[in-house]
Chain A
Amino acid sequence: MPRKKSNPPAGRRTRRQLIGNVLIVGCLGIALIAGYLLYLDHLITSTFDGRRWSVPARVYAQPLELYPGLVVEANEIEVELKRLGYRRGPLNLNAPGNYTHTGNEVRATLRAFTFSDGPRAPIDVRARVADHAIDTLYENGEPASLVRLEPPLIGSFFASHGEDRLIITPEETPTLLSEGLKAVEDRNFDTHAGFDLKGIARAAIADLRSGDLSQGGSTLTQQLVKSYFLDNRRTVWRKLKEIAMAVILDARYQKADLLNAYINEIYLGQDGERAVHGFGLGSQFYFNKPLSELDPAEIALLIAVIRGPSYYNPFAHPERARSRRDLVLGQMSEFGLITAEQHAKAIRQPLALTRSARQGGGYYPAFLDLVRDQLGTNYDATELASRGYRVFTTLEPRVQDAAEQAVATTLDRIEIDRKLPRGDLEAAVLVANNQTGEISAVVGGRKAGFQGFNRALNARRPVGSLLKPVVYLTALESGDYNLASIVEDAPLLQTDVRGKAPPWEPHNFDNEFHGPVPLVRGLGDSLNLATVRLGEAVGVEKVAARVATFAGIEQPPAYPSLLLGAIDLTPLEMTRLYGVIASGGFATPVKTVLAVEDAAGATLNRYPLEMQQVAQPEAVTQLTYGLTMVMQHGTARASRFAMHGVAGKTGTSDDFRDSWFAGFDATHLAVVWVGYDDNRDTKLTGSAGGLQVWDALMASLHPAPITLTTPTGFDLQTIDYATGGLTRADCGEPVTVPIPYNARLPAVPGCGTGFMERFRQWFSD
């Protein structure tokens, strides 16, 4: 039994086994924990690195170009500077962002900006306005021919129900913000290892004293982890995991990086579908200015909101938010971050929020819809929501604001004047650049700042007389007609030869017949019977083909009722159609995006101008003359700009369901629709609805007369608007339009332009 002897006693053996087992289990456990920690490490570092740069694409409008001769008022330049967050204050090239406005001179220190064609350093710009235009312009003291402001930021492509942020670098972070955050949220941030027992103890004591749970005790690092994983379940396991990750983050990264990540990450409020993350966007959301320009009271409010963005929502609960802001200010003062005077001043300050009219994430949601459409062919939504692209667009904020304002005030006024139910009337407006076709503004409805049904793009409505210019253009292009050609405005009755359709008997708006009228009057007075006869003479099929080409749609069926606009089109399609006229005969694709850049500033895509000549320039010029006569003598003569050398056309659909106006000055084409969403009768003609909005819009844009060259082979002739005969400037209702030089027009009896007349005119000149 020596063997047996050599065996250890059973008790020792089990103990040793036990130790062995414990060791194995322990090792396994340590390995497991280590593995888990490694996993956590991987998870948190990849999230941290990934999230730091997950930035939605930013969308920019067109920058305002300042140059001598630009028609603008000094206060309009000031408005543009304010839009960019510039403030009245002392000028300093080292701290750009301020402007001065004295009398007719505006001076500003412009911020640095990287345009899509290159960077620009901060500059000092001085513009003097005289006679409603820039008279002299200086850049850094030297006379300059052209200076552009930065393009305003107009929105971002955050994912749906997603986060939006404006990245702030450590250099851009005000010291009061970073120090204030530490003072209020995490006093030992600079020294702890991601987790702060003292802080928890202090918070617990404070909570016990006050009897509520207002003090969190989480470090900034823990809050950052919590924000990354969006988990509010309060279980011990979650808490441990959170602490472990915070410790890992703290060990892996510099405190400065963590603080910067926090400043860009933390949730600060909800803006419709958009979650406002980070202080950069928070500052814009609550105060509409850059973070670097906030005062202590404003910084304190942002810090106050962190603890509960909906509980302390300053818009919804101003009292709550204010008392917590004052608490934060108290702590700032206690820690010596602000002086006693600053504190005293700050707590007297009201919240001073800028309640932006633009809720729901896009500042210009209707325009952004079009941008999304154009980008959709090249970029997917995830890409746009995360890669920090910059998208440069054609929006002109000045024009957009004017259009929104025009809709809001005009619809209010119409409803009051006409005793219509308040708030029901709707509208859509599109504004485009005449010659480039680029879209300058889109208003999708009365509440322009809200994402909603975008009538500018999606409301298909009968266009009525707004289509008539296509009939006249087709006739003028045929070469068989000019503006003085006579067409019969007489009764019409059409029966379907197969007997399938009911007979069609169009009438004039005034239910009268005007007999033989010249084209210029048929168009000007929007005479239905004259227009149908003209359209049938040139061919309904031809007109239908023109409509399709101009509006960019499928060719509509060639029913005669098409000639009177019995077709449903969107305001956007009508904008394309009128764009052909305003541009002298060129069709352009809908364009809102100029260029897309990646986060590093490299160009991903440029969208150069594109156009196609689709109409004879001579015919378009004649038509445009005709459209100026619509303003001067016809259905749009009620316009305050009737005599300003601008062109336009009214449109009213059956039973006054739709009130349209399309018109252009030398620079901008604007198409307006006014009506009810449920299609009921508005009791408004195109002149009483759409034209009113157009007038209000144009009033803000300083309309300039259209430049028209008399086409080769044409003479300007003075004819009688009513009869089309040659007349004198002082006889009948004279209008001056281009007429082919070989056309022989009868003279209006008694209004001849014989030798004696011309003789008389020589001396009267």
Chain B
Amino acid sequence: MVQRLNHTFDRALAHVGLVVVLAGCVSEQQTPYPRTPAPIPPTSQTRPPSQYPVPTQPSPQPIPQAPAPVQPQQPKPQSTVTLALQDEAQRAATAGDLPKAIQILERAIRIQPDSAQLWIELARCHLKEGNAAQAEQFARKALLFTGNRYDLEQQAWVVIADARAEKH
């Protein structure tokens, strides 16, 4: 299982062509991933907005007449509340209790449903548990909340790639 995971993992990395920091449910990687407002790792391909191929929105302007839906350029930093739960989930996953890790992550998601980190972590746990189909879905869910955190975006895509590899 670990062998196979490693294998698919390598393939996925090669596929994406990136070095990303991974943690949590992929337990062989123990480095915790950066927490906001930590700097984005230099290895990730972060581009300043001006270099990005599609024009990003102009400076956030208030929508006339009414408060608009909130426009986050930066995703909200993950709260210390859910960070504590994420650590707990990570410990459970490392101890091999994936169902418990998933349960704790779901609890964290109920508190902070727009945290890309939590969804990525949940996706990893499902992938490790052998549920590639749901892992992909949760990684896709994470993509809704990555904002301009391209490191998180990449992490989500890695899980998607792994999940796809696992399925085939």
Interface residues of A (CB under 8 A from B): 62, 65, 67-69, 116-117, 145-146, 433-436, 438, 584, 586, 594-595, 603, 606, 608-613, 617, 624-625, 628, 632, 642-645, 647, 666-667, 705-710, 712-716, 718, 729-730, 734-736, 741
Contacts and interface: CB of A to CB of B under 8 A. Distances in A.
Given A643-B66, A708-B71, A741 B54 contact: yes
Interface string B51-69: 0001111100101111111
Contact of A705 (B70, B103, B113): B70
A611 B63 CA distance: 32
Contact of A116 (B56, B66, B103, B140): B103
B130 to A, nearest CB: 13
B163 to A, nearest CB: 13
A716 B58 contact: yes
User: In terms of DSSP, what is the predominant structure of the interface of chain A?
Assistant: loop
Nearest to B69: A708
Contacts of B69: 624-625, 628, 645, 647, 705-708
Contacts of B141: 435, 584, 586, 611, 613
Contacts of B106: 436, 594, 608-609
Interface in B56-114: 56-58, 61, 63-72, 76, 79-81, 84-85, 99-100, 102-104, 106-107, 109-111, 113-114
A713 B81 CA distance: 34
Contact of B113 (A436, A613, A729): A436
Contacts of B63: 735-736
B102 A608 contact: yes
B134 A610 contact: yes
Nearest to A624: B69
A436 B105 CA distance: 12
Given A117-B100, A433-B110, A709-B71, A642 B64 contact: no
B143 A617 contact: yes
A705 B67 CA distance: 8
B81 A628 contact: no
Most buried by A among B63, B100, B113, B137: B63
Given A69-B81, A613-B137, A435 B109 contact: yes
A400 to B, nearest CB: 16
B144 interface: yes
Given A69-B81, A741-B54, A435 B113 contact: yes
B34 interface: no
Contacts of B143: 617
A612 B67 contact: no
B167 to A, nearest CB: 14
A730 B61 CA distance: 14
Given A68-B81, A584-B144, A611-B137, A117 B103 contact: yes
Sorted nearest first, the 7 A-B pairs with minimum C-beta distance are A435-B113, A708-B69, A729-B64, A736-B63, A67-B81, A643-B66, A584-B144
A645 B70 CA distance: 8
Contacts of B110: 62, 65, 433, 436, 438
Contacts of B80: 68, 145
B64 A734 contact: yes
Contacts of B114: 435, 707
Contacts of B64: 718, 729-730, 734-736
B67 A643 contact: yes
B158 interface: no
A82 to B, nearest CB: 23
Contacts of B99: 603, 606, 608
B81 A146 contact: yes
A67 B79 contact: yes
Residue with the greatest number of chain A CB neighbours at <10 A, chosen from B84, B99, B137: B137
A258 B85 CA distance: 45
A438 B84 CA distance: 23
A715 B113 contact: no
B85 A146 contact: yes
A707 B70 contact: yes
B12 interface: no
Contacts of B67: 643-645, 705
28 contacts: A116-B103, A146-B111, A435-B113, A435-B141, A436-B109, A438-B110, A594-B106, A608-B106, A609-B134, A611-B138, A613-B137, A617-B143, A628-B68, A632-B65, A632-B66, A643-B67, A645-B67, A706-B69, A707-B72, A708-B69, A708-B71, A709-B71, A709-B72, A710-B56, A710-B57, A715-B55, A715-B57, A736-B64
Contacts of A146: 81, 84-85, 111
Nearest to A730: B64
Contacts of B76: 707
A609 B122 CA distance: 10
B147 A709 contact: yes
A339 B153 CA distance: 71
Given A117-B104, A436-B106, A586-B141, A734 B65 contact: yes
Nearest to B147: A709
B26 to A, nearest CB: 18
A62 B110 CA distance: 10
Contact of A710 (B71, B109, B137, B144): B71
B65 A716 contact: no
B92 to A, nearest CB: 9
A143 to B, nearest CB: 10
A709 B149 CA distance: 12
Interface in B117-168: 122, 126, 134, 137-138, 140-141, 143-144, 147
Given A433-B110, A433-B113, A645-B68, 18 more contacts: A65-B110, A68-B81, A146-B111, A586-B141, A595-B103, A606-B99, A609-B134, A611-B137, A645-B67, A647-B69, A705-B70, A706-B69, A708-B71, A709-B144, A709-B147, A716-B58, A735-B63, A735-B64
Contacts of A708: 69-71
B125 to A, nearest CB: 9
A765 to B, nearest CB: 8
A712 B150 CA distance: 13
A65 B85 CA distance: 12
Contacts of A644: 67
A644 B68 CA distance: 8
Most A Cβ at <10 Å: residue of B57, B71, B80, B138: B57
Nearest to B60: A716
A708 B71 CA distance: 6
A644 B63 CA distance: 12
A68 B111 CA distance: 11
B33 to A, nearest CB: 19
Contacts of A730: 64
Contacts of A436: 106, 109-110, 113
A735 B61 CA distance: 12
Contacts of B111: 65, 67, 146
Contacts of A645: 66-70
B45 to A, nearest CB: 15
Contacts of A666: 70
A182 B30 CA distance: 64
B161 to A, nearest CB: 16
A624 B68 CA distance: 12
A667 B122 CA distance: 19
B137 A145 contact: no
A61 to B, nearest CB: 13
Interface string B12-50: 000000000000000000000000000000000000000
Contacts of A712: 54
